[in-house]
A and B are shown apart, each in its own frame.
Chain A
């Protein structure tokens, strides 16, 4: 006589996690006759047949039996692995439920690579600074990992290793700072930062991050802009002054000074609580000018 066995179902959430990370197994068991199977152990074994965990059915809703969700650690090497859930004690094949296979997937750790504080206008042939941050998607210690800065032609212009310093206020963002040589002529290039591949317990995906390097001709003129409140004529510190690609902030006296190449510019002066002021400027000589800003009225509380 053929014996009908019940079924076991395992849901893996999330389906993919970082190598060495944790995922959750949700186990449901249905008996051949819809029996109450509380107390039935379920053995979870990995791809090598090693026991991961044994858990007991502890709930029955009249049709389906459930075990409390368990958290398991996936393998350290990336890949998809076939694991098995086997009802019953080891060596006891009398359980009325068939074993079931399921897949857990371990991903290579992602490496996030950030580049910031690259000046928007770099005088051709001069040196410039850039900040680089590296973070693993699983929060691995990145100390000692190599970082390279590669120019548009593929040449490595600088390299360094992460010292272990974290960017202030971050949660595991390792940082490095670079001093780099700019191209000799005025142009815009795309450079890259990359993390040098390294051996370790966990495999990290190769990562690059592109950033723009804009070189400009040597500065010819000085543009001095004083930001003031139009109504009170009070100087306005911490205002942003943008004459693309040049940028500056006003100082405590409300003054920003930009060294620029000759040409036509759209100058914006803006900052908290003020509508941006815009002016077209043809720079053919040193310029000193005032930028009166209109205060944005506070939101009305009448309405």
Chain B
């Protein structure tokens, strides 16, 4: 395929992608409190007054743009770039201090398909345009022989179940997914036109279907400088120079990409998020960080005409220093508490989902109300604001309908991680990124096998499940199918929409579901109404376990300052330390002494009558050698499913099924799709950015 980069534009480098003066984007061009002028189809015109239904006859606008995008993540940035490419002025608001959202800490595995350019490239045995990829295709040409109809059928396949018997694709909104499937190929090209470099396809992400391989990681080459335009990144920026350091460039360390790209390549969220951000800034998209969208504003005709947004700066919890974005070109620094931003054509909501909002997510599962459990990446995104359902709630408040909240059950987006000793347990993050102080520890991944060395107790200090089965993540029905993925046939013998995929005998054979996470969040003796919070759960172990399991009890893996790790000479002292050191531990775990004594007696007897541990799974070990330890075991609410109902154009629909004029949504802000992350969100962004400008001509590049 042909890369469509504008080589005449300014050079990308370690510094900001754009010289503001060169692009005519100097901050002095912005009039504080009013209009500003940008390059080309720039952001702002004179501030205006316009009738707004909920705010009196006239309201004051502080900024204006054709398209206002909420969220600088994997929906928002593609939407912004696409709309800007089509000639619109675009302003992106994000509640965080930097761009990237959840994309920045993702694995960058983008599952598209339908015969997209990377599938074609790999099927033909070709390398990338720059010649970086030097490994052969990892998937047979037959597994890459894809088309939009097959992709659509795969992602609406009613017959496929996951290993908990849940119909994974059955409830996907068909109109939305027809639009999604049709726009996968152009979105792949669009991403590649905006500095995204895709490695070899090596699978399909969950939600991407069973029949074909469709997912590839985003990579950069290790080099002496970080240069997005030329595709290089320094080992320090990539986080591969030191195994215990992240960088301000990449919150999560990138992975060596030898298996899918080149031994000198690295892939991961930073290699995706920074490249898209760079392209957006280079093209003239404007960003306003520290700005949380609180409300959508309508006019008397029901047209969405703007947003109200509040100032949400973040400060280092240790130093008090305000956090600032890695790049600044194109930023609008605005510090007023509340501003109104007018959207001349549309607002695109890519504000993330509801996994960070315990009140909202408990609508799906009441036991999800425990606030101790944040969404994954909370340190990066900001606790209480990241993934806070604000985009969904704002939509509800202007009459939007919802879709697919029950789809949180698929793949159980809430699950127990094997990383203990950090509240942000879904991913590792190390010192070097400015948000590390919010978590203070990387956590220590003990793996499933590591649970052999501990007992898990609830907030009152009692065991609640077989520890060996706590971190039992279910598998998903996706390529390459077959028994390991809960599908009776491999991909090449798989027939979508075939009742045999959910034949009762097959389901009985395939069913494999552990309810450990459900036991972890259940009402216990310490739960008090009306909330009935389940409280934290703790891994309790002794020094002998540390030695056997080779736990590295040191910084940055553990911290004594984040309420996630305690050490004591006696169990009684451990009880006091847990109670005093964790603000969500609402009572002393007073049963802990008896629980440990009981456990040790079970070990001596060689059987665990309470939870049948030690019989078919793993040996049991006494917990008796001081010192004793408690480390947090986290129930992670990762991504969320269910949100604003959208159609094939990503227009938000009202209760009658009609589009709300001027309102678009995508990614986790939208519902009706059992599909993970990046593939879903980037295509939504592409569609929304296109339709918001073209008014219906979707899937066509200019």
Q: Given A114-B570, A135-B570, check contact A169 B449 (CB 8 Å).
A: no
Q: Given A238-B550, A270-B449, A296-B449, check contact A170 B572 (CB 8 Å).
A: no
Contact present for A188 and B604 (CB under 8 Å): yes
Contact present for B550 and A272 (CB under 8 Å): yes
- Cα A176 to Cα B250 in complex, Å, equals 51
Q: Given A135-B570, A276-B617, A302-B107, check contact A116 B452 (CB 8 Å).
A: no
Q: Is A171's beta carbon under 8 Å from chain B?
A: yes
Contact present for B618 and A172 (CB under 8 Å): no
- Cα A133 to Cα B622 in complex, Å, equals 16
- Cα A166 to Cα B462 in complex, Å, equals 30
Contact present for B604 and A303 (CB under 8 Å): no
Q: Is A103's beta carbon under 8 Å from chain B?
A: no
| Shortest Cβ distance from residue B475 to the other chain A in the assembled complex, whole angstroms | 12
Q: Which of A238-283 contact B (CB under 8 A)?
A: 238, 240, 242, 244-245, 249, 266, 268, 270-276, 278
- Cα A117 to Cα B217 in complex, Å, equals 50
- Cα A171 to Cα B568 in complex, Å, equals 8
Task: Report the contact-size class of chain A (Cβ under 8 Å from the partner).
Answer: 35 or more
Chain A residues with CB below 8 A from B676, complex form: 303
Of residues B550, B597, B616, B618, which shows the largest number of chain A Cβ atoms within 10 Å of its Cβ? B618
Q: Which of A286-303 contact B (CB under 8 A)?
A: 296, 299-303
Q: Is B268's beta carbon under 8 Å from chain A?
A: yes
Chain A residues with CB below 8 A from B452, complex form: 270, 276
- Cα A275 to Cα B549 in complex, Å, equals 12
Q: Which of B85-111 contact A (CB under 8 A)?
A: 106-107, 109
Contact present for A302 and B109 (CB under 8 Å): yes
Chain A residues with CB below 8 A from B626, complex form: 114, 116, 133, 167, 170, 173
Contact present for A301 and B107 (CB under 8 Å): yes
Q: Is B15's beta carbon under 8 Å from chain A?
A: no
| Shortest Cβ distance from residue A245 to the other chain B in the assembled complex, whole angstroms | 7
Contact present for A303 and B569 (CB under 8 Å): no
Contact present for A272 and B449 (CB under 8 Å): yes
| Shortest Cβ distance from residue B451 to the other chain A in the assembled complex, whole angstroms | 10
| Shortest Cβ distance from residue B47 to the other chain A in the assembled complex, whole angstroms | 44
Q: Is A110's beta carbon under 8 Å from chain B?
A: yes
Q: Given A270-B618, A270-B619, A273-B449, check contact A170 B255 (CB 8 Å).
A: no
Contact present for B619 and A242 (CB under 8 Å): yes
Q: Which of A173, A214, A238 contacts B569 (CB 8 A)?
A: A173
Q: Which of B594-623 contact A (CB under 8 A)?
A: 597, 600-601, 603-604, 606, 614-622
Chain B residues with CB below 8 A from A278, complex form: 616-618
| Shortest Cβ distance from residue A223 to the other chain B in the assembled complex, whole angstroms | 15
Q: Which residues of B contact A (CB under 8 A)?
A: 106-107, 109, 203, 205, 215, 217, 252, 255, 268, 418-419, 445, 447-450, 452, 542-543, 548-550, 569-570, 572-573, 597, 600-601, 603-604, 606, 614-622, 624-627, 676
* Pairs across A and B, CB under 8 Å, 18 listed: A112-B569, A112-B570, A112-B572, A114-B570, A114-B626, A117-B625, A135-B569, A137-B572, A170-B569, A170-B626, A173-B569, A188-B604, A244-B619, A278-B617, A278-B618, A302-B215, A303-B109, A303-B676
